Amino acid sequence: MTEENVEVLVVGAGLAGLTATMVLAQQGIRVLTVDRHPGTSIHPRASGQSSRTMELYRYAGIDRKVLGVSKRASQGLRITIASSLNGKVLNRILEDLSEIDLDAATALPWGMAGQDVVEPVLLARAGELGADVRFSTELVSFEQDDEGVTAVLSTGTVRAKYLVAADGGRSPVRRRLGVPTEGMGTIGQAIGVVFDADLGDRLQPDITDLYYLQHPRFTGALVNTDIPGRFVFGTDLRPENGDKVEDFTEDRVTELIRLATDLPGLAPDIRWIGAWDIAARVATKFRAGRVLLAGDAAKVTPPTGGMGGNTAVGDGHDVAWKLAAVLRGEAGPGLLDSYEAERKPFAEMVVNASLHNMKQRMRTDLDLTGLPEPEDPIELALGYRCRSAAVVIDDDDPRPTENPNKPSGRTGFRAPHVPITVDGLSMSTTDFFGHGWVLMTADPAWREAAASARPVVTPRVLGEDFTAADGLFTDRYGIGPGGATLVRPDGVVAWRTVRGVDDRTSVLSGVLDRVLCR
């Protein structure tokens, strides 16, 4: 049998795997993605896109498409804790997205699309960019050596330089590598149900209306989807109380849905019933040689807070641009170590925040003794600080996040959003990012240094390439008239100098050598 050769093999075509595939293809990398399932997800399980996720999607040219596949996109989000849909409201966590003011942090809206409608957008874009994605194709085994990975698939053998494992929470790849996980582990089981019904005015139809239900008979959640009249219901399964998966027949889940909706005569059309573990765990390492873990293969988080899918997208993007830089010879292999250094602490904070949400919203009995207080979810999404060899940290502030509405422009953080004008068009500084290295400055003298840099660095000079309100750009970026900020392909500040420097060309070249681990 002929051995197929690619640069990267991605195992798993969920949010993490398809994002990695799309970005690798966009970067000109030969990528093959395989998934044992017959197609993309039919379950809208990971719904909602943070502004940071929309930023990454914008880099790939699909942000408008993602918004377009969800009629609920940017229309609103309500989160309620109640005994039932028409019962006692215990807490209104969020009434509307307008309560979250992010005008100073981003120009992009949140999305509300479900995983079932987002994955086809990712798949189509990956295909347009030249990626090869094959469903109904299973990874049977793999071996790695100093030069690459040999994978035996159900359809043949593939030789790749690197393998990205995005094969889910039970990740066979992670288990074959012998990489353990840490954290609380499995904290419960749940039954998920997708059903069609007319719920009348129980839920607001034009927004994402999410209810966490603390009913006397069960604990669960219910939310609408992008398909009118279709809903997702989840309820806890307690083995200690004698619950068994096989007990949750259509008749039983119908009874529970009636209790949840306060519609005793409702006859829901049950489309899907499935069991899954509620777990909190993070892999002890995200890289093992030439294999890198992404998405749920690297971490599993409770579904309270909508951070799991967004984290998977972030993983996929991060691992992809770094692999591409190494494969093109622009970076040393050490750049791949920055993937774990940056994404593992983020995953740990996401899991911790989700656990605290679960205790508040669903499992008041959950014992979180010893866990730290959670980080603010908005700061996690838009104000997280990357710390690794791929960033030149220039201060001793130990805090992992900052308020994105008051950006400092420091290294490791997202390069700040600043409203600008380019050729008469209103834009954001973030529109410059996502396609390579960018040097932001108010000093034209940096152009010569950028022109000599390898890889290519695109200079963006205030007053020449764009204009902004007086003092706003230099204030948010924290640089003076002669300073400069080097922004990575993921929109993160890798290095900056507040003031002008002598021999800009050698300084910039030395910085690139450092952050690209050359």
Structural domain including 336 reads 3-71+110-182+280-379
Beta bridge partners of 181: 283
DSSP alpha helices (H): ranges in 113-249? 115-128, 172-177
What pLDDT does residue 205 have?
77
Question: Do 16 and 33 meet the contact criterion of CB atoms below 8 Å apart?
Answer: no
Q: Are residues 296 and 170 in the same domain?
A: yes
Q: Are residues 55 and 166 in the same domain?
A: yes
Q: Are strands 419-422 and 425-428 parallel, antiparallel or unpaired?
A: antiparallel
Give me the catalytic one of 57, 212, 339, 384.
Answer: 212
Please state at what angle helix 115-128 crosses helix 15-26, rounded to 10 degrees. 20
Q: Are residues 135 and 169 in the same domain?
A: yes
- Is residue 490 domain-resident? yes
- Is residue 403 domain-resident? no
Q: Are residues 116 and 21 in the same domain?
A: yes
- Is residue 86 domain-resident? no
Q: Looking at 400-500, which runs of residues are DSSP E strands?
A: 419-422, 425-428, 437-441, 457-461, 467-468, 484-487, 493-497
- Is residue 83 domain-resident? no
- Is residue 284 domain-resident? yes
Residues 302-334: b if buried by 16+ CB within 10 A, e if exposed: bbbbbbbbbbbbbbbbbbbbbbbbbbeebbeee
Strand order in the sheet with 208-215: 89-94, 77-82, 208-215, 218-224, 230-237, 181-196, 269-283, 299-300
Q: Are residues 160 and 41 in the same domain?
A: yes
- Is residue 19 domain-resident? yes
- Is residue 130 domain-resident? yes
- For the chain, give the number of residues: 518
Question: Do 453 and 508 meet the contact criterion of CB atoms below 8 Å apart?
Answer: yes
C-beta neighbour count of 152 within 10 angstroms: 15
| Nearest-angstrom CA–CA distance, 89 and 78 | 13
| Nearest-angstrom CA–CA distance, 282 and 182 | 5
What pLDDT does residue 362 have?
84
For the CA atoms of 261, 223, 72, 131, the dihedral, rounded to the nearest 10 degrees, stands at -150
What pLDDT does residue 364 have?
87
Q: Are strands 299-300 and 457-461 parallel, antiparallel or unpaired?
A: unpaired
Q: What are phi and psi of 439, to 5 degrees?
A: -110, 115
State the distance between the two ends of the chain, measured CA to CA, in whole angstroms.
Answer: 38
Domain limit, last residue, from 279, 307, 342: 279
pLDDT digits (tens, 9 = 90+) for 415-443: 999 999 999 999 999 999 999 999 999 99
Q: Are residues 50 and 145 in the same domain?
A: yes
Domain count, the chain: 3
- Grouped pLDDT means (10 residues each) for the chain, 518 residues: 90 98 98 97 85 97 92 73 95 79 90 91 98 98 97 97 97 97 91 94 87 92 89 87 86 96 96 90 98 97 90 98 98 97 98 93 89 94 97 96 96 98 97 97 97 97 97 97 97 97 96 98
- Is residue 448 domain-resident? yes
Domain limit, last residue, from 279, 308, 331: 279
Query: Is the bond preceding 172 in cis, omega lying within 30 degrees of 0?
Result: no
Q: Are residues 178 and 36 in the same domain?
A: yes
- List the one residue out of 63, 70, 50, 64 whose CA is nearest residue 207: 70
Q: Are residues 20 and 143 in the same domain?
A: yes
Q: Are residues 450 and 503 in the same domain?
A: yes
Q: Are residues 195 and 57 in the same domain?
A: no
* Region for residue 59 given its phi and psi (left: phi exceeds 0; alpha: psi -120 to 50; beta: otherwise): alpha
| Nearest-angstrom CA–CA distance, 97 and 49 | 13
Write the CATH number for 232.
3.30.9.10
What pLDDT does residue 130 have?
97
| Nearest-angstrom CA–CA distance, 205 and 71 | 10
What pLDDT does residue 320 have?
98
Return the structure tokens found at 106: 């981003």
Q: What are phi and psi of 271, to 5 degrees?
A: -100, -25
Write the CATH number for 152.
3.50.50.60
Q: Are residues 118 and 147 in the same domain?
A: yes
Write the CATH number for 471.
3.40.30.120
| Nearest-angstrom CA–CA distance, 297 and 350 | 15
Q: What are phi and psi of 172, to 5 degrees?
A: -60, -35
Judge whether 211 counts as a catalytic residue: no
- Please work out, in degrees rounded to the nearest 5, the angle formed at the alpha carbon of residue 475 by the alpha carbons of 474 and 480: 45
Helix (H, G, I), strand (E, B) or coil at 450: helix
Q: Are strands 230-237 and 132-134 parallel, antiparallel or unpaired?
A: unpaired
- Within 13 Å and on the Cβ side, how many CA atoms surround 443? 18
Q: Are residues 136 and 271 in the same domain?
A: no
What letter does residue 462 receive in the DSSP assignment?
B
